[in-house]
A and B are shown apart, each in its own frame.
Chain A
């Protein structure tokens, strides 16, 4: 469980990135942290594994303050997958890249081998096991970075902007993967500004703006709250925009899902849905 208690954070340059943030993320939760660029989302998640320590306030992971352990120790439980995989990749083979974290955490060779096989299969990278990570495509490198973090099975997986640069098909695959991760008893925290992706995943949504949390709740409630979204400079999902404009026809204002919207519109459009 990650507890953030009234945290303030200012960068060395003096800019205050977090102004009094309090939030709790429980085990097995699925959370999306949204907001415009500069709202403080990445800054917040970097407190979860101790990369940043609060200027004021406290962050605890499973009861232990992040100031009491090193980043490496905290990362054992909170795995952070950075936005740009090229900031991590340095090994000669994909296999070694995945083994890097495992070696750091003290796993033995046999277990390293097993875990590597498992995670490469999971992410459809088995065929690249002996390949150099540098020759892979952008999307594949992102998967290698993800694999290297999943290898040591952290309880919490944090993804920083996982959808940037991905095309539709890749995002679909990612969405299913993320849902599966959550089903396997892990907490998944996504930092993203891709509202359509979040609408499709329907997690708990935390909205940040100017270093503060301005919204926290179910995706259905948060992503359909017009005032909140405008305040945080977040574009609403298309489906929601559509239904807002038709609310005078009796259509609800809090729908995100494409299929749900379709069912609601069937009546209006005069479509008979069989039987």
Chain B
């Protein structure tokens, strides 16, 4: 669950937070792409270090750290899996190269994960929804998206309350064999689902009562505007991407110590 800590928005007053969500999305995509394009450890390491100043200036380092620690299990699994696969297919031999390669793949996973972590930690779901809207995605989808996020804490609470209520009627959720445990979740699931349906009906009522669908084109209270800082960030990302791709595909990498 700690992994998800790295995806939850934190309200802070930083330059990164003030950037347009579309800019941040592009930057994340650039980092993501670069991490995919390169498998060489030094590059990945550079990419990783390059994110750190962004994370620190956004003051979200603690949450980011927590999510990296949360993803450590998966990282280790990736490392071990690749090692084993290489071991068996390489004639039962572990070479230094194989270890380095597995390590760089595992490391790459961390870079990929954290590239979007920055995006989610510094972008409020509201801004996200606005970005989607202004990118001409139909309003219904944006609304469904925001509403889902808005109700996640509510549903989580309700699930907990339902579990408490059923435990108070003698339901033992922690005992019994596998099959029994699955059956024991029915008294939790049904009230949850019925509750969700009831809730969506109430929501629909409220939406209708506020003239949802009255006009084809909606206006919006807030407007996302690209500023100098946004264009600057985009330009910088573009430059980094271009030069990296150039190095990768047009300049030989044999000079550098690799696998």
Contacts and interface: CB of A to CB of B under 8 A. Distances in A.
Interface of A: 46, 49, 51, 70-72, 75-76, 79-80, 82, 84, 86-90, 100-101, 103-105, 134, 148-149, 152
Contacts of B166: 88
A71 B164 contact: yes
Nearest to B172: A72
Contacts of B170: 72, 75-76, 100-101, 103-105, 152
Interface of B: 158, 161-162, 164-172, 174, 186-187, 190-191, 194-195, 198
B169 A148 contact: yes
A87 B167 contact: no
A70 B164 CA distance: 11
A42 to B, nearest CB: 10
Contacts of B198: 86
Greatest chain B CB density within 10 A among A46, A49, A88 is at A88
Nearest to A70: B172
A46 B164 contact: yes
A90 B162 CA distance: 11
A100 B169 contact: yes
A79 B168 contact: yes
Given A87-B195, A134-B194, 16 more contacts: A46-B164, A51-B167, A51-B168, A71-B167, A71-B168, A72-B167, A72-B170, A72-B172, A75-B169, A86-B194, A86-B198, A87-B161, A88-B169, A89-B194, A90-B190, A90-B191
A75 B170 CA distance: 7
Contacts of A149: 168-169
A-B pairs with lowest CB-CB distance, top 3: A104-B170, A90-B190, A101-B169
A257 B206 CA distance: 42
A87 B171 contact: no
A80 B168 contact: yes
A135 B162 CA distance: 20
Nearest to A154: B168
A196 B190 CA distance: 36
26 contacts: A51-B167, A51-B168, A70-B167, A70-B172, A70-B174, A71-B167, A71-B168, A72-B172, A76-B170, A79-B168, A80-B165, A82-B168, A86-B191, A87-B161, A87-B162, A88-B162, A88-B191, A90-B190, A90-B191, A100-B169, A101-B170, A104-B171, A105-B170, A134-B194, A149-B168, A152-B170
